Structure formats: structure tokens, C-alpha cells
Amino acid sequence: MRFLIDACAGHRLAEWLRGEGHDVEEVSGHGADPGDPAILAWAAGERRILVTMDKDFGLLIFVDEHAHAGLVRLPHVRSEARIALMRRLLDEHAADLAEGCVLTVKGNRVRISRREG
């Protein structure tokens, strides 16, 4: 799968995903933060699933109706826990990720929001 890792989600998660064979870009590796709308457009333009801990992307997608290729919103937990959560999402929700769904992790629950239409 193709991912764009927001700076808040961390380099360790990006490295783990690469080690699992995924195509991964990191926002932090491209200079100053361009802002959430630009990050979402970048991910959509390259058909990458955006992985973040930032709640603002949900507003951009669901309220402002920005295009996207999928989103994973992880909770604010240590990097080891983020990696474990991503492993779980890839194991249990790979089809949802491939479809461009929005997956929001809160505690032990995963909310899946599908595209309309």
C-alpha cells in the first residue's frame, strides 16, 4: 500500500511500514509543514493513505469535502503502540484501506467511514 505519514505520526511508524514492504512518504522529509489542506491534497494526488494523529483532517474530508485516498487517524499514544495499531489495521482492515475509507482508532474501537456514492 501507499502511505503518507504526517509528521505527528512519526518516523518510527514510517520506517516500520517500509520494513513491511509499503511505499511510504513522510511529510517531515519534505521541508516545512505545508498545512493540512496541502498535505491532504498531496496524499490524494499520489493516491496515498494519509496516516495522522490530527483531528483536523476529518473536518477537511467530511465538512469541506476535500478529496482523499483514505485516512488513518491514530490516537496520541507512544510510537510502539501506533505501530501495533497499524499492524492490527493492516491485518483486519486491509480491504477498507484499499477502498479509501477513513479509519479512526479510539481506544480498542475502529470507526470506518466509507465514501459516499
Of 117 and 72, the structure prediction assigns the larger pLDDT to 72
pLDDT in tens, 52-107: 999 889 889 998 889 999 999 999 899 999 999 999 999 999 999 999 999 999 98
Inter-residue contact 40 to 33 (CB < 8 Å): no
Please report, as a single letter, which amino acid is at residue 108: N
By C-alpha distance, which of 105, 17, 98, 91 is closest to 53? 105
Please state the pTM of the whole predicted model: 0.93
**Total residues found in the chain within this entry:** 117
Q: Which three cell numbers stand for residue 80?
A: 510502539
pLDDT above 80: residue 33: no
